[in-house]
Amino acid sequence: MTTRRLTLAAAAVLATLAGAAHAQSSVTLYGDIDEYLNYMRSSSGTTIKALQDGALLRSRWGLRGAEDLGNGLQAKFQIEAGISAISGTAADTSRAFDRQAWVALAGGFGEFRLGRQNGPTFYKGDYVDFTSRTLGSMVNNFGVPSRYDNTVSYTSPRIAGVQVDAAYSLAETLAGVRSQGVKQGAIDYNTGPYRIGYSGLRAGPPAGAKYGNDVYYDMVYGNYDYGQGKIYLTYVRSNNVTSSSAGNNAASILGNVGGVVAGTNPDVLRGYRILQGSADYWVTPALRVGALWGKITDQSNSGHGATGGAIGAYYSLSKRTTLYALADTLKNDTSAGFRPSGSSGLQFNFSNANDVNGRTINGLQLGLLHKF
């Protein structure tokens, strides 16, 4: 009898352990703090001297986790909130988790996500230039679609070097989800030292809008790893830029982190082309330097283009901590009003159009990024 009881008890323990192994789960707390000293001068004579947040990565914290459901299937989630490290306040006081809040199922078939999440174009930042499309990047100064609410997305497994992304963000407005939804897609091919890819976005206005044109954003990129660094080339076409009180090109028609196309802005009729080249070089295993130059062309020939570039250095103090320095310039055409932007919009930026429109803006930055 005693032997039988011991056998039954051992079987129960083994069953419990097997169940626990089958349903293994993990939750990780993560984040980063990125702060930098920023000096910028406009050709108008106005200068900015400030401590800023988010040159390379917006300061943030988040939780992500996964549960093993068995047979190669996982349930996953991620919630992420931006913070303004210079003041300790939330990046967006209207949201608890402004950057991401999604749940997913993943397996050999790929990954399906539901919720607010970074889009395909956002995830391609590392492939665009030596800055990872952050402060100093002309592509970034134009504006990049980042994340939207109510998003359903799919990412395929990488097969023969090819990976595909698709995302649809339901507008959920009274005008109807189909007319104002945000559609995104991407394809990336990576083999050996070469990587090429495309990502794009389309967002339409409601039926009967004064301006019925879609907002579009198309990006083609390629880079080559030559062993000591990479060479990057990027081309973008888009009409997603408009004016604000801060400058003739200081805002977007479709918000880069949310919103819909209202169909009331005539700037949707003006297209732009961006061509940018970049390269970096690992001087030592800890020190990387890079440079880029780019041109924004106004296809309407009305003087809304710009040119600019940057040089930078990144020194890894550890796997988690990076010291960086940048020098950058942005030269607006006669009627253009672009402003510098980092991983997040600059909290202290030129807010007077006279300091931006037709002006050249030069900057120097020195910062420290720590990830946890």
In angstroms, the CA 187 to CA 160 distance is: 13
In angstroms, the CA 206 to CA 310 distance is: 40
Q: Which residues contact 243 (CB under 8 A, 6 or more apart)?
A: 249, 250, 251, 267, 337
What are 67-111's pLDDT values in tens digits?
A: 999 999 999 999 999 999 999 999 999 999 999 999 999 999 999
Question: Helix, strand or coil for residue 63?
Answer: strand
List the one residue out of 182, 69, 187, 60 whose CA is nearest residue 123.
Answer: 187
Q: What does the block give as tokens for 214?
A: 């879609």
What are 13-53's pLDDT values in tens digits?
A: 444 434 444 568 999 999 999 999 999 999 999 999 999 99
Name the pLDDT band for 340 (thresholds 50, 70, 90). very high
Q: Which residues contact 19 (CB under 8 A, 6 or more apart)?
A: none
Radius of gyration of the chain (CA): 23
> Which 8-state DSSP code applies to residue 266?
G
What are 215-238's pLDDT values in tens digits?
A: 999 999 999 999 999 999 999 999
CB-CB contact of 59 with 33 (8 Å): yes
Q: Partners of 13 in the beta sheet?
A: none
CATH of 30-371, one of 2.40.37.10, 2.40.160.10, 2.40.30.260, 2.30.30.100: 2.40.160.10
Q: What are the phi and psi torsion angles at 354 (to 5°)?
A: -65, -25
Name the pLDDT band for 344 (thresholds 50, 70, 90). confident
Predicted pLDDT at 277: 98
The residue extents of the domains of the chain are 30-371
- Find where tokens 């093993």 sit: 68
CB-CB contact of 201 with 215 (8 Å): yes
Distances, alpha carbon 104 to alpha carbons 82, 121, 153, in Å: 21, 19, 9
Predicted pLDDT at 175: 57
Distance of CA 293 to the CA centre of its chain: 20
Q: Partners of 23 in the beta sheet?
A: none
Q: Partners of 79 in the beta sheet?
A: 63, 101
| pLDDT(64) > 60 | yes
Predicted pLDDT at 172: 75
Q: Which residues contact 27 (CB under 8 A, 6 or more apart)?
A: 63, 64, 65
Name the pLDDT band for 11 (thresholds 50, 70, 90). very low
Q: What are the phi and psi torsion angles at 54 (to 5°)?
A: 80, 50
Predicted pLDDT at 13: 40
Q: Which residues contact 106 (CB under 8 A, 6 or more apart)?
A: 66, 73, 74, 76, 112
Of all residues in the chain, the percent with pLDDT exceeding 70 is: 92
Distance in angstroms between the alpha carbons of the first and the last residue of the chain: 55
- Amino acid identity, residue 216? Y
In angstroms, the CA 10 to CA 264 distance is: 71
Helices (H), ranges, the chain: 2-22, 120-123, 138-142, 177-180
Q: Which residues contact 331 (CB under 8 A, 6 or more apart)?
A: 306, 307, 308, 360
CB-CB contact of 99 with 122 (8 Å): no
Q: In this structure, are strands 182-191 and 147-155 parallel, antiparallel, or unpaired?
A: unpaired
List the one residue out of 204, 153, 202, 212 whose CA is nearest residue 178.
Answer: 204
- Find where tokens 């055409």 sit: 333
**pTM as predicted:** 0.91
